Amino acid sequence: MANVLVVGSGLAGLLAAIRATDAGHTVTLVTKAALPDSNTRYAQGGIAAAMFRDDSVESHMVDTLRAGAGLCDPAAVEVLCTEGPARVRDLIRFGVDFDRDESGVTRGLEAAHSRSRVLHAGGDATGAAIESALVATVRERAERARTRPPGTEGAGPRLLIREHTMLVDLVVDGGRAGGAILLGPDGELQSVASDSVILATGGAGSLYPHTTNPALATGDGVAAAWRAGAAVADLEFYQFHPTALAVPGTPLISEAVRGEGAVLRNRLGTRFMLDVHPGAELAPRDVVARSIAHEMARQDGTPILLDATGLGRDLLETRFPTITAACREAGLDWAAEPIPVAPAAHYWMGGVITDIWGRASLPGLYAVGETARTGAHGANRLASNSLLEAAVFADRAVRALGLSPVDGANTGTDADPARATTDYRHSAARTCAGRPTPHSALPFADREGIQRVMWRYAGVLRSGEGLAAAAAILAGWNRPATGLEVDPRLNMQIQAYEDANLFDLARITVAAALGREESRGAHYRSDFPASRPELAHTVAPSRELSETYTEAEEAIAC
């Protein structure tokens, strides 16, 4: 049995911790905020799976591959769609109460799905329902382990929960992930050893000022894995959800609303999507998001209107209680009038490269959920496949613990950076501490500045000229300073480490987008509007930490 460190408490992290504990491993579950705080909690639309007689795994695979625009890994898609129904049944056993009607479990239709296969709970509170059930299960497992009498079979703590503890960096020992450096609630850095590390820290919506993600989504796991030498890929593919409510906080307006029949109108009241795509409002997300962005540009940047008035107040309030509450809080009555919407950063298809068992290129390191680039999403994730991917690959990662490469666990996915279409590196000079050398004449980057650059130049609509400008601006900033010397207050230390992660990720994401001279899926460039089928994945190889220290390791060593 192994000593496993799980970082993150969304669906992927919680399920990995449960599975690893039940398998007899000793588990430490680390989360940056409170245990229930994660991206999962905010997921509205639901979870897609071929659970019904008029559906099939093959149909789900076809829809997923089509949405991925030629960059999905077929083996990963097959795993996702084949094992998905079993993982949904697991969630039900763990206490997730999916919505029901007279025919059984209720299902909805979302964009680019050929069948109604999206299960939801609490109307538009699916993520919150899943999070709540899994948090309760994790706490039960931790309490059971804590109270098991000495001398009984399996006695001793097997699941330790550490809340308000941030991942700062990975520890690499002998060319393998051997634990992590954590920032605890006491403000102290601590090195924690483990046999394996499972990263489930989510995406990096905070790269952008307008995002459906919570503020804690700062890409900590992807950044730490990159610094540790793990290969990351496809960072240029950031999915922008077409419809976030255009008010402060940008609350998500689920795609399921359009699945129920809501339509998009410009300020003249015209349904412009009818002239863009046969699927109209239910076209793939990248198509709808770009079309909204173009339409907004034609009307001086004012938001598009989502018209759900035809659905009726009863359906809106019962099926979408979360969205109804968000509208009311903003002073809007969406049953009576169309509401303003605009695209917002939503989901990262790129991340830490893994095989179909969740294993990264760095031995001992696993990545699951939005942190990982499993190959299941390609250039554009199919709606409601994210929760499914988190469940499927968290389960597989735990099953793969202790397997060696010769066990066949990495069959089907290419995690080899040698196949990169664009080979790029972090361009800043580095010191022996593994960070860019501070230049006294350069200002330090801050979050607002990073977000402005990313939104303007690496957002929904991109160009080579704009991306080159973004790269130049980022190169003109020093990496944010971190540590106690910056500010002894814990919240300021956390923000400093988050900002440093965002800075690292912004630079390599811009480089990836600049290197991909085509338009495909969520990546659109006006100077290369056509896709180039010959291009594969854009991989960012990173340096090996075996030759140097990270900033946090240096701090502990000192």
Q: Catalytic positions, please?
A: 285
How many angstroms separate the most distant Cα atoms in the chain?
74
What are phi and psi for residue 13, nearest 5 degrees? -70, -45
Burial of 387 (0-12, 13-18, 19+ CB in 10 A): buried
CB 110 within 8 A of CB 116: no
* Amino acid at residue number 20: A
- CA dihedral for 522, 526, 530, 533, sign (positive or negative): negative
| DSSP secondary structure, 116-169, as one string | --EE-STTT-HHHHHHHHHHHHHHHHHHHHHHSPTTSTT-S--EEEE-S-EEEE
Spatial strand order in the sheet of 365-367: 159-162, 26-30, 3-7, 196-199, 365-367
Alpha-carbon distance 120 to 126, whole Å?
Answer: 5
Alpha-carbon distance 182 to 164, whole Å?
Answer: 10
CB 180 within 8 A of CB 168: yes
CB 106 within 8 A of CB 119: yes
* Amino acid at residue number 514: L
Q: Hey, what are 85's tokens?
A: 């129904």
Kind of pairing, strands 196-199 and 3-7? parallel
Helical packing angle, 11-22 and 126-147, nearest 10°: 30
State the CB neighbour count (10 A cutoff) for residue 23: 16
Radius of gyration of the chain (CA): 22
Burial readout 169-197 (b: 16 or more C-beta within 10 A, e: otherwise): bbbbeeeebbbbbbbeeeeebbbbebbbb
CB 372 within 8 A of CB 393: yes
| Residue whose C-alpha is closest to residue 237's, from 394, 370, 76, 62 | 370
Cα-Cα-Cα-Cα dihedral of 391, 394, 397, 401, to 10°?
Answer: -130
Helical packing angle, 464-475 and 490-515, nearest 10°: 140
Write out the H or E segment, with its range, that includes residue 342: strand 339-348
Q: Hey, what are 496's tokens?
A: 């400093």
Which distant-in-sequence residues (6+ apart) come within 8 Å of 238 by Cβ? 207, 208, 345, 347, 348, 349, 350, 458, 509, 522
